[in-house]
Amino acid sequence: GCNFIGFGVGWDNWKSKDLTSILDNAAVRLAVKAPEDKTIFGLTFICLMEDYSGNFIAGNFKSKYFQEPPIRDSWQYIYLPFNEFEESAEFELNNVKQMSFEFFGSSRIVIGDIEIVEFNDHKADPLPYKLKVEEKLPHNIFDQGFHENNYWGLIEDECRKAKILTEDGNQFISYSWESGKDFPCNDIKWGFSWSGWHPVDFANLPSSASLEFDIRSTDMPNIKIGVIDYNFGNHSVALSSYYPQNSKGSSWVRVKIPLKDLVSGDIQKDNIKQIVFIHSGKGKIDLDNIKLLNS
């Protein structure tokens, strides 16, 4: 897989830029559209700004700044106000080098013009947290849909079919996959953030903290569940190690994975990016009630 997917743009012949005077009345504006007959509800990329000292700040494209959400197969503008970027004491707004765009997971989007424009008609609220978010439990990730649309990989292609379905008024994730000789898919996975893609600090979590979810499967699914940090560190565990014995069938069962098992090895505990589900072989599962708990 690729550690980084994205591109960067400089302007003014790569001279140092001073953005302090326009921080509160300007925005990055992108012209975007979805591929034909597609609809995009949540973006799977972020914007990064870099200064000439090598510091970065990140910003998320929020749906309230879409010209006409969701994104369909006709052009529209999306905005990222400068004062929606994360605050950082180290970042030098008077010494800006470039902007870059980092993409996550699997998706398709068409990007046209990239501009810096005046943005006075919507005064952006300040971000409720700094560069890193200290995790506070409990945290609901998915029950009646994702609480934040910061997920990727729930798609349909030759290797997988993922949908959010409704049964008896309850929404759940249905995910089937197959990888083998006739299906050479080396990277069947999906993942999610629960903090708007801000780095999350797990360093001070209690030892009782856990990732929990309900699962339904007729066979023991060949799945690993992992954590990835923003320095590309990753660690995963086998679902089978936590699956209740003799629980395969049509009934929902509860799986509990201690976070200390996931946040292990070379993972930077104070710099967590996302949780991922990694699928091998062939299988089908239903998932619901994904939560981070102190239990």
User: For 242-280, what is each residue's pLDDT tens digit?
Assistant: 988 766 667 899 999 999 999 988 898 988 888 999 998
The answer to whether 249 touches 176, Cβ cutoff 8 Å, is: no
pLDDT at residue 125, rounded to an integer: 34
User: For 25-84, what is each residue's pLDDT tens digit?
Assistant: 899 999 999 888 787 776 778 899 999 999 999 988 876 677 766 788 888 888 899 988
Pair 157, 267 in one domain: yes
Which residues neighbour 167 within 8 Å (Cβ) at sequence distance 6 or greater? none
Angle at 211 between CA 226 and CA 46, to 5 degrees: 55
Q: Which of 85, 118, 151 is the last residue of a domain?
A: 118
- 1 inside domain: no
The answer to whether 66 touches 78, Cβ cutoff 8 Å, is: yes
Which residues neighbour 21 within 8 Å (Cβ) at sequence distance 6 or greater? none
Pair 285, 161 in one domain: yes
Which residues neighbour 271 within 8 Å (Cβ) at sequence distance 6 or greater? 132, 199, 201, 229, 230, 231
pLDDT reading at 163 higher than 80 = yes
> Which of residues 3 and 167 earns the better pLDDT score?
167
pLDDT reading at 121 higher than 80 = no
Pair 95, 146 in one domain: no
Task: Quote the domain boundaries for residue 225.
Answer: 133-294
Q: Which of 66, 83, 118 is the last residue of a domain?
A: 118
CB neighbourhood size of 184 (10 A) = 9
- In this prediction the pTM is 0.59
Pair 105, 179 in one domain: no
Pair 87, 167 in one domain: no
Pair 140, 284 in one domain: yes
- Domain tally, the chain: 2
Pair 258, 170 in one domain: yes
CATH number, domain containing residue 168: 2.60.120.430
